[in-house]
């Protein structure tokens, strides 16, 4: 006899059927949340009062204000819109850990404690009548804390405090950042009001595009409705992105401090990896053991990884962006570890060391390693104010070309190899020696060529020095003893008034020092 199922009292009698329930609502079927009036009334009461203590102003606030002022000076009379970006779906109804767009973080000072969907708007005012004597008034638009008497408190899995924890109020962020705040519901009017052709009295808008597609649509619709030529507007938007990138070429005092913290945590992560090497060598996926050891440090001491860790054993070290990390770490092989901790402020380190898995370099491994180290030393020597950024790379290439020639690997002489028509040495060193570093691991990437690659090195710049040599196992242009050896040494460099400071100097660099450092850690492990 067929049993009779009793109705579920938590389900409303007029709940939608499988045929009528919209697809977008079906992801919530697993929640089985009661919908009764009694439940909603009970959920709305008997909660302890929220903490109304006004937070102190954060140390980053005056620095962020100075950055906004520089952008205000660059674009007087125009509305500037910088979205933080929305949550991004990882799979079905689960999201990636949130991180705001770097330009938004730079101009607000918001790091980990942020709000998805937030938007910073710089509204033009009379010249000199804006914030700090600038040409704009800045307002941060975001979704404020939902009251505990609201359904969002317990029913919204993306934004409700019951699900994701407390969020700042408008007053909280105003106090912390010394920045005007407004409810996100006011954003549409703030962005679209008065948009038009500036020549006939409208307000021009510059937008950081492809960060939040909803904001893109708002701006584009307003432009279309008021006769703004979209190709011209795209050019204006591109100029804003370029300016925001160039703003970060020279780091302020607060940024340098955050980078120091990120590098210090990264050094600790490298020490953790050395301690884990015996376990990695014994494991069929030793690279994952290495990756996991570093990731634990990144989450413990920082916000996250600054980029996906490269934990490359043996021939995998010759694959420049090897991030699968599913290979072995074998006794006698090298491990190339390229990794960086992202600080709570979202500034990241970017450091590489190439380590002997058993603690001792073979003769040929040492030969290659020391050649790369000497190339890095040559690059350090020219990384000082007044030289060109491209000179750092050129100095490293001169050393590597000479080494390759001495080993009999170049098919032409050093002079020909280094010429624009040659470049034969680049077979084994195909990437650049340096890139700027900061909120992005490849920071300032949209800056103009004449300010980046052809730019003059200036006090306050932070960039990497990372030469390498990569001899693939299948490379028949080199003797067998070199095949399967990949070496990179990467440090993070702060340009000072009279030279540079190696921020990652706490990690050993010479082959002898690496071996001694590893032995000390392994003896204590």
Domain enclosing residue 345, as ranges: 253-524
pLDDT of the residue at 368: 98
Q: Using the 3D structure, point to which of 202, 217, 246 is the last residue of a domain.
A: 246
- Given this model, what pLDDT does residue 230 score? 84
Is 8 inside any structural domain? no
Per-residue confidence (pLDDT) for residue 334, from 0 to 100: 98
Q: 15 — phi, psi (to 5°)?
A: -65, 150
Q: Are residues 366 and 402 in the same domain?
A: yes
Domain membership flag for residue 47: no
Residues 155 and 94 in one domain: yes
Question: Do both 266 and 377 map to the same domain?
Answer: yes
For 200, residues 6+ apart whose C-beta sits below 8 A from its C-beta are none
> Is pLDDT at 164 greater than 50 in this prediction?
yes
- Check residue 449 and report its DSSP letter: T
Mean pLDDT calculated for residue range 62-73: 98
pLDDT mean across residues, the chain: 93
Q: For position 434, what pLDDT does the model report?
A: 98
Whether residue 298 sits in one domain with residue 228: no
Q: Which of 225, 246, 267 finishes a domain?
A: 246
With a pLDDT cut of 90, the percent of the chain lying above it is 81
Mean pLDDT check: name the lowest of 193-197, 401-405, 462-466, 490-494. Answer: 193-197
User: Of 395, 403, 464, whose CA–CA distance to 436 is shortest?
Assistant: 464
User: Average of pLDDT values for 220-226?
Assistant: 93
Mean pLDDT of 496-506: 98
Q: Which has more confidence, 167 or 122?
A: 122
Residue 361 belongs to a domain? yes
Q: Residue 1 pLDDT > 80, yes or no?
A: no
Q: Are 136 and 68 in contact (CB under 8 A)?
A: yes
Among 246, 279, 312, residue at a domain's last position: 246
Report CA-CA distances (Å) from 9 to 6, 14, 155, 290, 310. 9, 12, 18, 51, 53
* pLDDT over threshold 50, residue 6: no
Question: Do 258 and 382 sit in the same domain of this protein?
Answer: yes
- pLDDT of the residue at 149: 81
User: Does one domain contain both 297 and 230?
Assistant: no
Torsion 476-480-484-487 (CA) sign:
negative
Residue 311 and residue 192 share a domain: no
Q: Please determine, for residue 12, whether its predicted confidence score (pLDDT) is greater than 70.
A: no
Query: Is 70 exceeded by the pLDDT of residue 114?
Result: yes
User: Residue 176 belongs to a domain with what CATH number?
Assistant: 3.40.350.10
Query: Within a domain: residue 26?
Result: no
**How far apart are alpha carbons 224 and 203 in whole angstroms?**
14
Beta pairing, strands 136-142 & 180-183: parallel
Q: In sequence order, what E strands does 113-235 have?
A: 119-124, 136-142, 180-183, 204-207
Residue 358's pLDDT is what? 97
* Domain CATH for 399: 3.90.230.10
Q: What is the pLDDT of residue 19?
A: 67
What domain count does the chain have?
2
Tens of pLDDT along 193-215? 999 887 677 899 999 999 999 99
Residue 5 lies in a domain: no
pLDDT value of position 14:
52
Q: Which of 12-21, 69-78, 83-92, 368-377 has the lowest mean pLDDT?
A: 12-21
Which pair of structure tokens corresponds to residue 52? 């109304």
In this structure, what token pair is assigned to residue 152? Answer: 């969002």
R_g of the chain computed on alpha carbons: 27
Place of tokens 């003896």: 523
Confirm whether pTM is higher than 0.85.
yes
Instruction: Establish if 32 belongs to a structural domain.
Output: no
Least confident residue range of 79-83, 225-229, 237-241, 359-363: 225-229
Q: For residue 459, how far is the Cα from the chain centroid?
A: 23
Residue 257 and residue 237 share a domain: no
pLDDT at 420: 96
Give the pLDDT score at 5: 42
**Mean pLDDT to the nearest integer, 113-127:** 92
Looking at the structure, tell me whether residues 339 and 408 fall in a common domain: yes
Query: What pLDDT is recorded for position 8?
Result: 46
Kindly state whether residue 31 falls inside one of the protein's structural domains.
no
Residue 360 sits in the same domain as residue 488:
yes
- Residues 43 and 33: beta-carbon distance below 8 Å: no
What average pLDDT does range 349-374 have in this prediction?
A: 98
Residue 42 lies in a domain: no
Please report the pLDDT score of residue 2 as a whole number: 40
Within this chain, do residues 234 and 300 fall inside the same structural domain, yes or no?
no
- Shared domain check, 166 and 117: yes
pLDDT at residue 188 in the model: 97
What pLDDT sits at residue 324? 98
């Amino acid at each position: 006899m067929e049993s009779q199922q009793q109705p579920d009292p938590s389900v409303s009698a007029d709940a939608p059927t499988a045929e009528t329930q919209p697809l977008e609502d079906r992801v919530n079927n697993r929640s089985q949340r009661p919908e009764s009036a009694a439940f909603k009334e009970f959920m709305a009461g008997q909660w302890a009062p929220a903490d109304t203590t006004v937070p102190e102003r954060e140390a980053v606030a005056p620095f962020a204000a100075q950055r906004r002022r520089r952008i205000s000076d660059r674009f007087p009379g125009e509305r500037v819109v910088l979205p933080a970006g929305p949550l991004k779906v990882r799979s079905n109804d689960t999201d990636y850990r949130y991180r705001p767009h770097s330009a938004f973080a730079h101009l607000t000072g918001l790091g980990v404690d942020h709000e998805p969907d937030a938007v910073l708007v710089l509204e033009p005012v009379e010249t000199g009548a804006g914030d700090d004597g600038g040409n704009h008034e800045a307002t941060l638009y975001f979704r404020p804390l939902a009251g505990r008497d609201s359904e969002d408190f317990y029913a919204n899995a993306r934004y409700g405090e019951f699900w994701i924890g407390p969020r700042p109020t408008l007053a909280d962020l105003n106090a912390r950042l010394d920045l005007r705040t407004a409810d996100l519901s006011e954003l549409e009017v703030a962005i679209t009001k008065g948009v038009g052709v500036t020549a006939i009295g409208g307000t021009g808008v510059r937008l950081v595009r492809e960060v939040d597609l909803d904001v893109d649509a708002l701006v584009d619709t307003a432009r279309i409705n008021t006769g703004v030529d979209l190709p011209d507007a795209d050019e204006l938007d591109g100029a804003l992105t370029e300016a925001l990138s160039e703003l970060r070429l020279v780091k302020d005092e607060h940024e340098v401090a955050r980078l120091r913290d990120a590098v210090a945590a990264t050094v600790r992560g490298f020490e953790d990896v050395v301690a884990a090497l015996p376990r990695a060598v014994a494991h069929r996926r030793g690279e994952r053991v290495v990756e996991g050891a570093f990731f634990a440090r990144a989450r413990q001491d920082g916000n996250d990884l600054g980029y996906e860790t490269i934990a490359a054993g043996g021939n995998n070290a010759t694959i420049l962006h090897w991030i699968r990390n599913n290979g072995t770490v074998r006794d006698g092989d090298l491990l190339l570890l390229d990794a960086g901790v992202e600080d709570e402020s979202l500034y990241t380190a970017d450091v590489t060391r190439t380590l002997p898995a058993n603690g001792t370099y073979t003769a040929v491994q040492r030969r290659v390693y020391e050649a790369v180290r000497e190339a890095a030393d040559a690059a350090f020597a020219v990384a000082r104010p007044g030289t060109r950024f491209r000179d750092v790379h050129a100095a490293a290439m001169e050393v590597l070309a000479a080494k390759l020639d001495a080993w009999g690997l170049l098919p032409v002489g050093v002079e020909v190899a280094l010429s624009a028509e040659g470049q034969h040495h680049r077979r084994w060193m195909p990437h650049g020696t340096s890139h700027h570093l900061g909120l992005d691991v490849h920071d300032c990437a949209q800056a103009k060529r004449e300010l980046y690659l052809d730019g003059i090195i200036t006090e306050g710049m932070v960039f990497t020095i990372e030469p390498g040599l990569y001899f693939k196992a299948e490379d028949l242009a080199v003797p067998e003893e070199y095949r399967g050896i990949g070496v990179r040494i990467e440090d993070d460099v702060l340009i000072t008034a009279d030279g540079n400071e190696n921020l990652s100097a706490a990690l050993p660099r010479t082959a002898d020092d690496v071996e001694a450092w590893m032995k000390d850690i392994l003896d204590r492990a």
